[in-house]
A and B are shown apart, each in its own frame.
Chain A
Amino acid sequence: MGYTRSMSETETQSLDSYPLGGGVSDARLVEAVRRGDHEAFGELVKRYEARLMSVLLRFVRDRELARDLSQETFLRVYERIEQFDPSRRFGPWLFRIGVNLGLDYMRKRKRRLWPLLFSESRSEKPPDPASADPRQHLDLEQEVRHVLEAIPEHYRTVLVLRDLENFSTSEIAAILNRKEATIRWRLAEARTKFQQIWLRRQAEKKPGEVALPIPGTEESDDVDE
């Protein structure tokens, strides 16, 4: 069956953008999976695995673990495919299972470190000579991670999904099974908390330490947009 769609094409699409263009819709594929078509499920996996893994990497620290969790997510999806309501969108349902798996994992491990936002271990990546100061960027990443750790989980999850993973608020509502108004309220709270904690941490820097510059502030007129 011709379910093929290139990875680059699928990665950039939002959760509900399938398939009106040319491909087979998620709903059709789900229907085929229910009839026992493995190839159809393979197509669904290929459509969503990169995005799912990217989201899971926000919750766990290493790539292999994120891979295992995404595999587990797809297995659960396959096992529960009969329970899926075809009148709803498949993507948010899949991501709900994945995000819940990631959050459960984090709760179980009770890690103090918020999942690696920038998945690869630093030692694997040589510094880019083209960038001005690679350490500065790493410091920024680490600092952001610390600030996110300080935010309560239900705000943090919304903030990560919206501002780091670029899901729309309606998609997040579907993923977290909450009303969109609730998500918007949590998002506003999360942004306010992030900003407050960030400022506090920068103010607490020791006298010798240099506060991290906010990206984009070099062009200061940007703030007056």
Chain B
Amino acid sequence: MKIDNRALIECAQRLAQACRENETALCEADARLGDGDLGLTMSTGWRAIASDSDEWSDDCSKIFFQVSKSLQRSCASSFGTLQATGFMSAAKYCKSNNLTQLSHHDLAPILDCAWKAMADRGKGELGKKSVLDIIYGLSIDLAKADIVDYKVAAKQSVDRVLAEYRDRPNGLGRARMFAEKSIGVDDPGMLAVKVLVNAV
């Protein structure tokens, strides 16, 4: 089943709204383990994406590239650059596979490319309780999902990964410096992805 590019624009508006509504909660979650600006990064970045979506083309490869550029222009933080990296990898996936319009079957391989590109850029790895684990989880779970259950499967996937890692220490980024304190606490980057998935 194809995903209409118009639907992507509407989705971007919903995600921007969700980030704005969750700005304080994400900042508070980040402040426990980092510098407390994650909510601002998410709301600023997705506001820019939604604002720029008026100029999106009909080519999903170019749309993902434009999302990446919007994030780069609006968010100087490393989480902004990591998200931009994920969307850039999606753009490259579409370009190299000559995709101009997405189908649901493309989501899992795109997410697989995204976590690998983000791991490479951030010098990170799986299993350290970071945003990489939740995107990897989505790539695995969506590959097995039935098309009619995609949104449900995605929500279940993020909850599964959050629960799996909650009682482990953080091993990447600034949060690794608070490894003991991070046990029993959700990773802020994972929570940011949950906000996005719930709004899709």
Chain A complexes with chain B: no
**Which positions in A face B, CB cutoff 8 Å?**
none
**Which positions in B face A, CB cutoff 8 Å?**
none
